[in-house]
Amino acid sequence: MNTERILMPKPLGSAVSCPLGADDCPIRAESQRLQDECARLRELSHTDPLTGLFNRRYMKMALEREMERSRRTGLPTSLIMIDLDYFKRINDTYGHEAGDDALKWTSGVWRKNLRRIDILCRYGGEEFAIILPGTRLHAAKRAAKRLQTALAASPVELQGRLVPLTASFGVDTYTTLEELTARNFLKRADRYLFEAKINGRNQICCQKPEAAKLTPEVTVDERSLLLGSAALPATEMNRKKQASKKG
């Protein structure tokens, strides 16, 4: 029989021993309880209590993480910002509890129409944010259209009445061909959301094709200035030498 024992300190400095491998060890049980409690608190710090979605704090961390993944892999990261249209009317007409029900209902609609890898967050109030890892702009636009269609087909029941819901969408995509912070990426997507709002709501606005093009190459003169003449192509270096002789 194994008589080796584990000694664990008590808060007051004395020690409690448990037989190695004992299933009923109170120290092991307490350790597991503390681990479970830490996991629960960590989840609460990342979760919106009303909808069960990730919260704003987690969204910002996840966006940083996915943009860093893009920089490592070269795959794009897309972001959809969503705002429910005329949500104040629901609160004013049916009350804030009904407004909460509408938010929970909408969250369920979003969940059913996203991939498992997509990161769905409640950004605040009636605004949502969705991070789509490894997703190009055209696919992100399709995802937004799918969400828009699903919401239009899913009126929420409030106080015995079916109330239609619509939303406005701002879509943007980050690629490694541009230098962009998570904060500015978020601001840019939010600008497209604002554009959808001022254009009449229930719309999808996104990065324009010209903005999605590759960033322009560094010019020869810029390259020379940054890296010196050794970095110039041979043909361009000869052209500059000839020009200097003529001058």
Q: Which residue has the tokens 């390259």?
A: 223
Q: Which of 118, 114, 126, 117 is nearest to 51 (CA)?
A: 126
| DSSP secondary structure, 164-190, as one string | ---EEEEEEEE-TTS---HHHHHHHHH
| DSSP secondary structure, 106-153, as one string | HHHHHHHTS-TT-EEEEEETTEEEEEEET--HHHHHHHHHHHHHHHHT
* Active site (annotated) includes residue 126: yes
Q: Among residues 43, 126, 157, 217, which one is catalytic?
A: 126
The two three-digit tokens of residue 191, written as one number: 């600008």
The CA distance from 110 to 196, in Å, is 19
Catalytic positions are 126
